[in-house]
């Protein structure tokens, strides 16, 4: 028989239908089926909700932590896994191919979100002399660099010491079950403001400090300490205990001063100090830093270096190049009497030497300042002591010219070895010899290279002078920070004005637009480093800034020119405070990579014509396939004679309802006698919603038929008239508990509208699948028009080659019903040839809720 005739025949007689097999069995299993279906829908709703959340995070560039990424991924996998399980319950098949694909995807996602591989080194402690740069994953970046210097440059002085490795950190966490506990607290605690962050920080730190060190680790540290005593040739060696986190001190993320360093520690307090330094991973500043830099918490095991204290006469910091200028011909050395802590913590304004690098290091410029305090360490005391200097000492240079040149040569040697500009912390002992204490890549931020006119040159500056610590210009309100209490109240977008650039204030940098400090050594010091990383302009050493700058006054600071002007209110300012971007941070990139395996359906209908591996590439595909397979299975019930009820509406086409909520189905096993009464569209909240949408559209009978075929339309009308009740119907509503499914099979398209609107918003969703066939593919411009319309109404839209999915998830029941109504309307619209130009009142989600059609 020729093809058109065969089609006509099929249309007239209802076509070759699948045999109503398994239906009696299905009816017998109805309660189990219903339960599995309900659970499957809940899992699907939660999955879509998670996808929605992850999409929003990527789109809005909003705050995301690794905890967020991990929990989203885990939940997404768990929910898809649950969907597969319920699908197996519904169909009784194992769906091995689908399950295998899912397992592959899950493994791929796990690999992406897994932390770094376990440390290859198993030793709990390692002598510093055996460490090199290649071991940074086991000993942390700081100790890897220092070990490298000790190993490669025998002529340079580096203190003896040992490193407590990442294997030790992992052992400590596992021994006390802390890994899960920390993750649990990080995941469950809601951080609304600084006070919440304070609390979480305190809790996590105390958790670590109050946990015991495993015996094995204690023994290993003891043994390493004994070796150190043997090297030093005397008992009771005092050590500097320094953090050396994996990932710390990278060029882009210096973590300068974020973790704790304890100086002059005795054996007695070594274990406590070690735990305190591990705990400082969760210090307020460090947590804030990781969050705002998008760094993964788990990827940063805390290694700790213990080094013999140097009998320091003077100490300081050397930058082998200018961190704020592209000029690479100058070395900067900052120095103070006593320990370098006075510089890094901003206690004093240090002496400064500028040294030309070529052809031989030569001092170009030196500035000797009055250094009123110094840090010293006494053997009789633990820790360090801040002492006032004598008037004679204050203006005494902290280094001789020979020492400055010696340090410069060391700097050049190291820079040459590591191949990048460096930030070197050093000390000169009482015998006058220089020792390298730590070294890290120098982060460089360039200021304005052109000679720009000073801002507001007509206005008299409020303050001028000081030293630029980080280049740039910004406007904001003055907020003076002196105590921890001020930390809690620091407003978003304010200028941080402080007596001293304490590294602790770096916790505020995600919220501050600029920094002004009364003392501190310009580009040196931890807060200056962090300010440059955040791109926040900063001027240090501005005398009386806390007094002259009035709280809440608007100021503009120009760090490049070292001037501060009164400013206008923000609405008058064209320049907005700079925002920090999380793009390209490790967490953001990980989420984006993971989402490639989670989101975006490969096809709108993976079941058509059959499931093939190339159609299932993402978790969305697995979920969508499971959903459709479950639908197909449950729709087999519609083969039971008499189970379908007509929808009691005045409409040119027949619509059918398979109402599994109907009481009569519960007990009635006598399927032959089954006959359902017409169902009103108000019988179910979602049915009502969808119908309100559909009913608003003109539905000429067989609206999908090509216009040219009037004969076919007449025949179909006839067909509909003579076979009003023969199942299954292409226009079928399936109702079950809080869900409604509408299947509409037209010639030019297939629609499947599914909504779930129960009391748990996180399980609710509404999704419209519109699959188009061959020639009926809508034009790009029409698709764009529809996409705009759906996006405006808050729907997600995924367009695949074979169709599109419009969906929304996680909304309360009432909103979901309204969304279902809109999608019903949309469905009625797109089955016509004309795209809607705008939505009628009552359908628009932004207009007030409407209860009747």
Closest CB to other proteins among 197 and 595?
197
CB of 272 to other proteins, least distance (A): 6
Helix (H) / strand (E) containing 417: helix 401-418
For residue 67 the two structure tokens come to: 């905890």
Closest CB to other proteins among 102 and 169?
169
What order do you get walking across the sheet with 656-659 strand by strand? 645-646, 656-659, 731-736, 739-745, 749-756, 765-772, 803-809, 796-800
* Distance, CA of 768 to CA of 816 (rounded, Å): 13
Closest CB to other proteins among 169 and 702?
169
Among 799, 819, 671, 831, smallest CA distance to 740 is for: 819
* Distance, CA of 69 to CA of 582 (rounded, Å): 14
Which residue has tokens 């990781």? Answer: 290
CB of 215 to other proteins, least distance (A): 18
CB of 500 to other proteins, least distance (A): 10
Among 355, 363, 359, 349, smallest CA distance to 395 is for: 349
Closest CB to other proteins among 279 and 414?
279
For residue 435 the two structure tokens come to: 């020792």
CB of 191 to other proteins, least distance (A): 13
Closest CB to other proteins among 279 and 752?
279
Closest CB to other proteins among 546 and 623?
546
Closest CB to other proteins among 347 and 772?
347
CB of 254 to other proteins, least distance (A): 20
CB of 302 to other proteins, least distance (A): 15
For residue 719 the two structure tokens come to: 């067909």
CB of 181 to other proteins, least distance (A): 14
For residue 263 the two structure tokens come to: 């100086």
Closest CB to other proteins among 28 and 551?
551
Decide: 308 and 160 in contact? Cβ < 8 Å.
yes
Closest CB to other proteins among 276 and 763?
276
**Crossing angle (nearest 10°) for helices 284-293 and 194-209:** 120
* Distance, CA of 516 to CA of 500 (rounded, Å): 9
CB of 397 to other proteins, least distance (A): 21
- CA–CA distances in Å: residue 374 to residues 314, 346, 387: 9, 11, 5
CB of 502 to other proteins, least distance (A): 9
Among 675, 677, 670, smallest CA distance to 643 is for: 675
Closest CB to other proteins among 284 and 474?
284
Closest CB to other proteins among 153 and 490?
490
CB of 529 to other proteins, least distance (A): 19
Strand partners, 564: 463, 557
Closest CB to other proteins among 205 and 638?
205
- Going by their DSSP bridges, the two strands 765-772 and 749-756 should be labelled as antiparallel
> Which residues are CB-neighbours of 844 under 8 A, at least 6 positions away?
793, 822
Closest CB to other proteins among 148 and 262?
262
CB of 268 to other proteins, least distance (A): 8
Q: What share of the chain is helix, strand, coil (3-state, %, to 5)?
A: 40, 20, 40
Decide: 315 and 375 in contact? Cβ < 8 Å.
no
Decide: 292 and 509 in contact? Cβ < 8 Å.
yes
Decide: 240 and 309 in contact? Cβ < 8 Å.
yes
CB of 373 to other proteins, least distance (A): 8
CB of 395 to other proteins, least distance (A): 15
DSSP for 589-624?
Answer: HHHHHHHHHHSS-S-S-TTSS---GGG--SHHHHHH
CB of 546 to other proteins, least distance (A): 13
Closest CB to other proteins among 93 and 488?
488
Closest CB to other proteins among 541 and 688?
541
What order do you get walking across the sheet with 261-265 strand by strand? 125-127, 161-164, 302-308, 239-245, 261-265
Residue 846 burial (10 A CB sphere; 0-12, 13-18, 19+): exposed
Collapse the DSSP code of 53 into the 3-class scheme (helix H, G, I; strand E, B; otherwise coil) and give the result: helix
Closest CB to other proteins among 325 and 373?
373
Helix (H) / strand (E) containing 441: strand 434-441
- Measured over the CA atoms of residue 358, residue 359, residue 360 and residue 365, the dihedral's sign is negative
Give the footprint of other proteins on this chain (CB under 8 A): 195, 198-199, 201-203, 205-206, 209-210, 260, 262, 268-269, 272, 276, 279, 284, 372-373, 380-388, 483-485, 488, 504
Closest CB to other proteins among 389 and 603?
389
Decide: 677 and 671 in contact? Cβ < 8 Å.
no
Decide: 375 and 381 in contact? Cβ < 8 Å.
no
Closest CB to other proteins among 350 and 842?
350
CB of 160 to other proteins, least distance (A): 24
* Distance, CA of 686 to CA of 690 (rounded, Å): 6
Kindly report the number of other CB atoms within 10 A of residue 406's CB atom.
Answer: 18
> Which residues are CB-neighbours of 469 under 8 A, at least 6 positions away?
501, 515, 517, 520, 522, 523, 525, 527, 528, 531, 532, 538, 539, 540, 559
* Distance, CA of 552 to CA of 476 (rounded, Å): 9
* Distance, CA of 80 to CA of 105 (rounded, Å): 11
CB of 28 to other proteins, least distance (A): 55
- The DSSP call for residue 452 is P
- The DSSP call for residue 679 is B
For residue 113 the two structure tokens come to: 């979100």
CB of 206 to other proteins, least distance (A): 6
CB of 300 to other proteins, least distance (A): 19
Counted residue by residue, the chain has a size of: 853
């Amino acid at each position: 028989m020729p093809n058109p005739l065969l089609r006509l025949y099929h249309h007239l007689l209802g076509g070759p239908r699948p045999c109503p097999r398994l239906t009696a069995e299905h009816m017998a299993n109805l309660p189990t089926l219903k339960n599995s279906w309900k659970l499957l829908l809940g899992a699907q709703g939660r999955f879509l909700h998670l996808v929605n959340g992850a999409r929003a995070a990527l789109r809005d560039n909003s705050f995301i932590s690794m905890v967020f990424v991990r929990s989203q991924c885990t939940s997404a996998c768990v929910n898809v896994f649950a969907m597969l399980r319920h699908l197996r319950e519904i169909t009784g098949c194992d769906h091995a191919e689908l399950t295998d694909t899912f397992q592959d995807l899950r493994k791929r996602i796990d690999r992406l979100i897994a932390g770094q591989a376990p440390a290859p080194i198993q030793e709990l402690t390692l002598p510093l002399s055996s460490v090199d740069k290649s071991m940074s994953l086991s000993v942390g970046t700081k100790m890897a660099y220092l070990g490298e210097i000790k190993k490669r440059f025998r002529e340079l002085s580096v203190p003896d010491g040992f490193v407590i490795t990442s294997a030790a950190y992992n052992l400590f966490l596992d021994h006390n079950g802390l890994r899960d506990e920390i993750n649990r607290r990080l995941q469950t605690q809601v951080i609304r403001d600084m006070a919440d962050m304070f609390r979480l920080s305190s809790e996590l730190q105390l958790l670590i400090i109050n946990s015991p060190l495993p015996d094995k680790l204690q023994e290993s540290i003891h043994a390493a300490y004994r070796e150190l005593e043997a090297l030093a040739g005397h008992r009771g060696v005092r050590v500097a205990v320094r953090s050396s986190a994996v990932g710390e001190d990278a060029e882009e993320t210096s973590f300068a001063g974020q973790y704790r360093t304890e100086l002059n520690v005795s054996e007695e307090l070594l274990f406590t100090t070690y735990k305190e330094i591990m705990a400082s991973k969760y210090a307020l500043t460090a947590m804030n830093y990781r969050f705002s830099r998008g760094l993964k918490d788990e990827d940063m095991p805390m290694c700790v270096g213990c080094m013999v204290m140097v009998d320091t006469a003077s100490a300081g910091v050397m930058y082998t190049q200018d961190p704020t200028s592209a000029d690479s011909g100058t070395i900067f050395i900052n120095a103070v009497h006593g320990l370098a802590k006075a510089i890094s913590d901003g206690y004093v304004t240090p002496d400064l030497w500028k040294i030309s690098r070529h052809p031989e290091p030569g001092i170009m410029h030196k500035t000797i300042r009055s250094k009123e305090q110094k840090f010293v360490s006494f053997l009789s005391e633990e820790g360090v002591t801040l002492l006032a200097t004598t008037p004679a000492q204050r203006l005494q240079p902290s280094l001789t010219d020979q020492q400055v040149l010696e340090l410069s040569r060391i700097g050049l040697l190291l820079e040459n070895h590591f191949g990048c500009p460096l930030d070197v912390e050093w000390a000169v002992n009482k015998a006058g010899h220089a020792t390298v204490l730590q070294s890290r890549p120098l982060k460089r931020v360039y200021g304005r290279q052109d000679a720009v006119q000073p801002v507001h040159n007509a206005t008299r500056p409020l303050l001028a002078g000081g030293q630029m610590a980080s280049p740039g210009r910004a406007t904001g309100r003055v907020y003076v920070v002196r105590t921890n209490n001020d930390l809690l109240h620091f407003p978003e977008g304010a200028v941080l004005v402080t007596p001293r650039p304490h590294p602790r204030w770096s916790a505020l940098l995600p919220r501050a637009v600029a920094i002004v400090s009364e003392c501190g050594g310009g580009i040196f010091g931890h807060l200056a480093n962090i300010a440059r990383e955040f791109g926040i302009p900063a001027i240090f050493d501005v005398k009386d800034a806390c007094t002259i700058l009035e709280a809440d006054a608007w100021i503009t600071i120009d760090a490049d020119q070292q001037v501060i002007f009164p400013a206008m209110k923000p609405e008058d300012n064209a320049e907005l405070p700079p925002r920090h971007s999380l793009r390209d941070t490790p967490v953001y990139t990980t989420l984006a990579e993971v989402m490639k395996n989670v989101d975006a359906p490969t096809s709108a209908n993976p079941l058509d014509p059959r499931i093939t591996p190339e159609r299932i590439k993402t978790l969305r595909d697995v979920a969508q396939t499971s959903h459709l397979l479950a639908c197909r299975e449950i729709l087999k019930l519609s083969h039971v004679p008499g189970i379908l009820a007509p929808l009691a509406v005045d409409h040119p086409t027949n619509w059918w309802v398979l109402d599994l909520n109907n009481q009569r189905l519960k007990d009635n096993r006598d399927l032959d006698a089954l006959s359902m009464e017409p169902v009103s569209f108000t019988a179910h909240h979602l049915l009502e919603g969808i119908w309100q949408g559909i009913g608003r559209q003109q539905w000429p009978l067989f609206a999908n038929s090509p216009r040219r075929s009037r004969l076919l339309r007449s025949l179909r009308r006839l067909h509909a008239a003579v076979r009003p009740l023969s199942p299954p119907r292409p226009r079928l509503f399936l109702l079950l508990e809080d869900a409604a499914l509408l299947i509409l099979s037209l010639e030019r398209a297939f629609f499947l509208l599914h909504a779930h609107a129960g009391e748990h918003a996180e399980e609710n969703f509404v999704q419209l699948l519109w699959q188009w066939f061959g020639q009926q593919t809508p034009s790009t411009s029409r698709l764009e028009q529809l996409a705009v319309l759906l996006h405006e109404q808050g729907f997600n839209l995924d367009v695949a080659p074979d169709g599109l999915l419009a969906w929304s998830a996680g909304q309360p029941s009432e909103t979901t019903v309204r969304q279902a109504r809109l999608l019903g309307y949309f469905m009625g619209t797109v089955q016509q040839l004309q795209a809607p130009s705008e939505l009628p009142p009552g359908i628009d989600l932004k207009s007030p809720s409407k209860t009747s059609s």
